[in-house]
Amino acid sequence: MVQPLTTEVIQERLGIANQLGEMIDRQNFDPTSIIFTDEAHFSLGGYVNRQNFRIWGSENPHMTIPKPLHPAKVSVWAGICAKDIIGPIFPEDNETITGDVYNRILNEAFPKLKALKLDRSYYWQQDGPPPHRT
């Protein structure tokens, strides 16, 4: 997949990175207080989901990959922070991640977070999904 970045988007990302760098330097922000989370779907037939797989290179590889209409898959959710990995958590029957499924994932994840005895506030970082509503 090729997604060109405009000059405006590059400048915006650079600005945010610089702001975070300054906050870290002034000790107003602790990057170890972020919990990064994401879900992924893995095909059991060898197909790679392009959403979860990136090829970084200077040229477009112009690849096409045939895939079955309804491939067998395994879904998994996990979180990672400076202290530990939360998960993996496997949604039942490889369900699509809906609000109800995400709620069940969180109900399983939060006791694991509590067991880590996190002693300060943390930021929950999802990988760009729209809000899950339940």
Please write the tens of the pLDDT for every residue from 50-108.
Answer: 665 666 778 877 777 676 777 777 888 898 888 889 889 888 766 677 778 888 888 88
pLDDT of residue 94: 60
User: Average pLDDT in the 26-32 region?
Assistant: 83
Strand pairing category for 73-80 and 85-89: antiparallel
Predicted structure pTM score:
0.62
Residue 47's pLDDT band, with cuts at 50, 70 and 90, is low
What homologous superfamily is domain 30-126 in, according to CATH? Ribonuclease H-like superfamily/Ribonuclease H (3.30.420.10)
